[in-house]
Structure 1
Amino acid sequence: MKTYFLSIAICIAFNVTFAQSEEDQIKSTLQTYIKGTSYNQPEVIKEAFYKEANLFLSHKEKELWIVPIAEYASWFEKKEQGKFNGRTGNVLSIDQENDIAIAKVEILSEGKETRYIDLFLLKRIKGTWQIISKAATRTK
């Protein structure tokens, strides 16, 4: 009987550990994105995304602005690589089920009264969590 309960306890511990490690991997992908955008590192930004990912952004002249990840990452090429640009990010929530996840991240820019909320759709592809889509909005 003790062996039976020990086996159950080990299975529960394994499942909790596995779930935590999945969440940690998702957070790591999000932190890669945050680091890349905070330090003007386009290649780091692209590491976090699936190569064909699109971003759905706001634009004053467009109903919906769809930007491919390669174009988005290129916006950071013109800035000094590796220098902190004042952007900070905070992961607000993660909801993961099997090989997909949704994450919400807050982005603040130093010296600006602007707050961005980014919603990410992630998928585990070949064992690695990647962002496959991002939608963002800006608030004051």
Structure 2
Amino acid sequence: MKKFVLILMLFASYITIKAQNEEKAIRETLQKYIDGSSYNNQALIESAFFEDADLFLSKKDQELWILTPKEYSNLFKDREQGKFNGRVGKILMIDYANNIACAKAEILIPKRDLKFIDIFLLKELEGEWKIISKAATQITQ
């Protein structure tokens, strides 16, 4: 009986550690997007995404604005790379099962009095978590 309890405890520990590692890896991918878009780093932004991902964004006078990760990163190309641009991102939630995940983040741009909520779909591809889709909405403050 002691052997069974020990095996059960080891298995539970393994599951807990694996879950922590997966969430950490997902968080790291999301942080690449947040840091890249806060510091005008196109390569960092693109590294967070599957290259064929679709980004469904909010834009004034346009109901649905769809961009690729490359098109999105190009929005930052004329800004000084590495310089903080005022975007503050915060991961609000992560939920995953096996090799898929969803996440939610809040993006604030205080200078422009803007707040966005981003929803992400992620998938583990070749051992690395990538954002495969992103939708964003602007919240009126």
Q: Which consecutive residues of structure 1, in runs of 5 or more, have no partner in the other structure?
A: none
- What residue number does 1:55 align with? 55
Residue type of the alignment partner of 1:69:
P
Superposed displacement of residue 67, structure 1? 0.8
Superposed displacement of residue 114, structure 1? 1.1
Q: Which consecutive residues of structure 2, in runs of 5 or more, have no partner in the other structure?
A: none
Check 1:123–1:73 CA distance in 2 against 1; reply closer, same or farther (3 A cut): same
Q: String of CA shifts for 1:3-48, please: whole Å, max 9, x gaps.
A: 1111100000100110111001000000011010010000000000
- What residue number does 2:87 align with? 87
Q: String of CA shifts for 1:50-109, please: whole Å, max 9, x gaps.
A: 011110012233321111111100111100000011111110001101111000000011
Residue type of the alignment partner of 1:95:
D
Check 1:63–1:110 CA distance in 2 against 1; reply closer, same or farther (3 A cut): closer
Secondary structure of the residue aligned to 2:64 is strand
- What residue number does 1:128 align with? 128
The percent of aligned pairs where both chains have the same amino acid is 49
Aligned residue pairs total: 140
Residue type of the alignment partner of 1:48:
A
- TM-score (norm: length of structure 2): 0.96
